[in-house]
Amino acid sequence: MKKAYLFPGQGSQFSGMGKDLYQQSEQARDLFAQADNILGFELSSIMFEGTAEDLKQTRVTQPAVFCHSVILAQVLGIEPDMVAGHSLGEFSALVVNKTLSFEDGLRLVSLRAQAMQHACDLQNSTMAAILGLSDEKVEEICQSITETVVVPANYNSPGQLVISGTVEGVQKAIELCKAAGAKRTVQLPVSGAFHSPLMEPARIQLAEAIEKTKFHAPICPVYQNVSARAETNPEIIQQNLLAQLTSPVKWTQCIQSMIADGASEFIEIGPGKVLQGLVKSIAPDIPRKGFEKLLEQS
């Protein structure tokens, strides 16, 4: 019986996130103050009082989701058997399993957000969700488009694959996916091609910081987006974390690997319920819940 803890990524933020936690826990207040000091601006105020538009700023969004997840996990005192995070959430997972310190994790997340925004500014790019086609068919369509960049980016669940690339490439792929029988296609409200080769400038920018950061032996395996396997070697974890910027998020495969390795329950730690929904699509028979249930028990 193994409990698997999951940590969400960008897009799960909401106005007021973490405010109850701040009001109820001295430990949380100390950690939020520490985060504000590290970042050099009052992230906590934006999280608690800011508008949805304020929270959409990349420099705010990624540290906000990270802090909500990690501070919540610290207050709950969770002891995971295994962890995984979706995209940005992998940084949260690596703090919770002790691979990274809170301070180092937050600094890397802040730099990652800035680097990704810079890469977005360099190229007119976007992402889109393709629903109702097999992964293999979407991969085949992306590979058939050779005049520009479009690649599979997020293997979210069976029948839900997000593609990423230039605006031209994504729109061409959408047309071909519709012609191939996709039930629905949704262009996402993002300004960049995350988890694609177009994030190479961000990978280069982040490389030095990740290489200089101390990665410790974790207390439990992390199932990383790049490999979808249990990783415990700090050097491999470090390499995979950097490769994640330009590689697809193999979320379906991560969940399947965790189940194969004995996961009997999935618990989402952080804002929103997106990951619980994805787990339901991937493995409907495995129990799943949000952090609210843990708060009730604590």
Catalytic residues, which ones?
A: 87, 195
Which tokens is 262 given?
A: 């004995």
CB 68 within 8 A of CB 91: no
**Cβ atoms within 10 Å, residue 210:** 18
Instruction: With both helix axes pointing from N to C terminus, report the angle between 200-212 and 234-243 in degrees, rounded to the nearest 10.
Output: 160
Q: How far is residue 183 from each of residues 129, 132, 275, measured CA to CA in Å?
A: 11, 5, 22
**Which residues lie below 8 Å from residue 192, measured CB to CB, with a gap of 6+?**
116, 117, 119, 120, 123, 125, 126, 127, 198, 199
